[in-house]
Amino acid sequence: MAETGEAAPFKNLTSREYHGHDRKSKAKGVELKGHTDSVDQLCWDPKHADLVATASGDKTVRLWDARTGKCAQLAELSGENINITYKPDGTHIAVGNRDDELTILDVRKFKPIHKRKFNFEQFGRTMKINIEKVNACTVEVLSYQSLKPVDTLMAHTAGCYCIAIDPCGRYFAVGSADSLVSLWDIKEMLCVRTFTKLESPVRTISFNHTGEYLACASEDWFIDIANVQTARTVHQIPCRAAMNSVEWNPKINLLAHAGDDIKPPGEGIFRIFGFKGSS
């Protein structure tokens, strides 16, 4: 892909790989051993830019220190975890599993404090006191922590799989099975533009810390980074498999991403893009 002039912040940047505790030298970063199944989603701690939490099919949630690559906390839950997000103040983590169960973790103790069963999978992101969930073609807005319905939006013509909130509070984006990403004005609750670079159902989306860029990924083997105001692609990151999760660091342009690629003997991997390449 020919990059536009806007791509300068991402030019010549590379990724690092994380598998767990043990390090092995790689040309473009560090590898570590960790999860025993694929990493389905991850998220950065909004208050500590060096910490990232991962949800895996191995039924665990892990908290990692990106500086050392070590797993700092681990919680074993009841099901195969597929969704994870932080509360904006960093005190709670919400985790959804394949059994449509939502678990709230207390970050300080890293233990469950609340569980609730739903009749659909949770793909939500917290926005102020609200938690947004995606169901079929609609976006359901629920109050937090009561999880009572507040509003319902008709968002796409196919199932909505993921949602992300602009850190500046202007927009939220919705990724759908129709391969489109829609951008919504929060005050007006209206769709203002769409992103069309992906060809497969959109699995994951994330705004960067300034709200200037939106990363989107799907079963296509690349991550698309687009300018939020123009919807134009500024960079694409090649991948080795379909992506399950992309998440920008809350303070700098580092993008964590994880997908279906598993290295023997069944080690889940996640990577962080945005490190300067060796000269």
pLDDT in tens, 120-177: 555 444 433 344 555 568 887 777 777 777 778 888 888 888 888 888 889 999 999 9
Q: How far apart are the C-alpha atoms of 91 and 161, rounded to whole Å?
A: 25
Is residue 257 over pLDDT 80? yes
Token pair in block for residue 99: 């059994």
- pTM for this model (two decimals): 0.71
List strand residue ranges (DSSP E) for 27-137, in order.
29-31, 39-44, 51-56, 60-65, 70-76, 81-86, 92-97, 101-106, 111-117, 126-127, 130-135
Question: Following DSSP, what letter does each residue of 149-174 receive, concatenated?
Answer: EEEEEE--SS-EEEEEE-TTSSEEEE
- Amino acid 38: pLDDT: 78
- Smallest Cα–Cα separation from 227: which of 208, 248, 243, 201? 208
- Amino acid 29: pLDDT: 35
Q: What angle do CA 66, 70, 73 make, to 5 degrees?
A: 100
Write b or e for each residue in 55-90: b if 16 or more Cβ atoms lie within 10 A of its Cβ, otherwise e: bbbbbbbbbbebeebebebebebeebbbbbbbbbeb
CA 185 from centroid of its chain's CA atoms: 20
Mean pLDDT of 250-269: 76
The DSSP bridge partners found for residue 102 are 96, 116
The DSSP bridge partners found for residue 84 are 95
Is residue 107 over pLDDT 90? yes
Token pair in block for residue 168: 């500046």
Q: Quick one: pLDDT band at residue 95, thresholds 50, 70, 90?
A: very high
Mean pLDDT of 88-117: 90
Is residue 23 over pLDDT 60? no
Is residue 30 over pLDDT 80? no
Q: How far apart are the C-alpha atoms of 58 and 54, rounded to whole Å?
A: 11
Window from 23-32, 63-72, 139-148, 209-218 with minimum mean pLDDT: 23-32
**Percent of the chain residues topping a pLDDT of 70:** 81
Taking each continuous run of H as one helix and of E as one strand, the counts in the chain are 0, 26
Region at 169 (left for phi over 0; alpha for psi -120 to 50; beta for the rest)? left
Q: How far apart are the C-alpha atoms of 264 and 47, rounded to whole Å?
A: 34
Instruction: Give the tens place of pLDDT for each residue, 72-91.
Output: 999 999 999 988 888 888 99
Torsion of CA 130, 169, 212, 39, to 10 degrees: -10
> Which DSSP letter does residue 5 get?
G
Q: What is the chain's mean pLDDT, rounded?
A: 81
- Smallest Cα–Cα separation from 117: which of 163, 79, 61? 79
Token pair in block for residue 82: 């597929």
Instruction: Give the tens place of pLDDT for each residue, 166-214.
Output: 888 899 999 999 999 999 998 888 899 999 999 999 999 999 999 999 9
- Amino acid 241: pLDDT: 85
Write b or e for each residue in 243-267: b if 16 or more Cβ atoms lie within 10 A of its Cβ, otherwise e: bbbbbbbbeebbbbbbbbbbeeeeb
Mean pLDDT of 241-255: 88
For residue 5, count CB atoms less than 10 angstroms from its CB and return exposed for 0-12, middle for 13-18, buried for 19 or more: exposed
Is residue 117 over pLDDT 50? yes
Q: Which residue has the higher pLDDT, 227 or 23?
A: 227
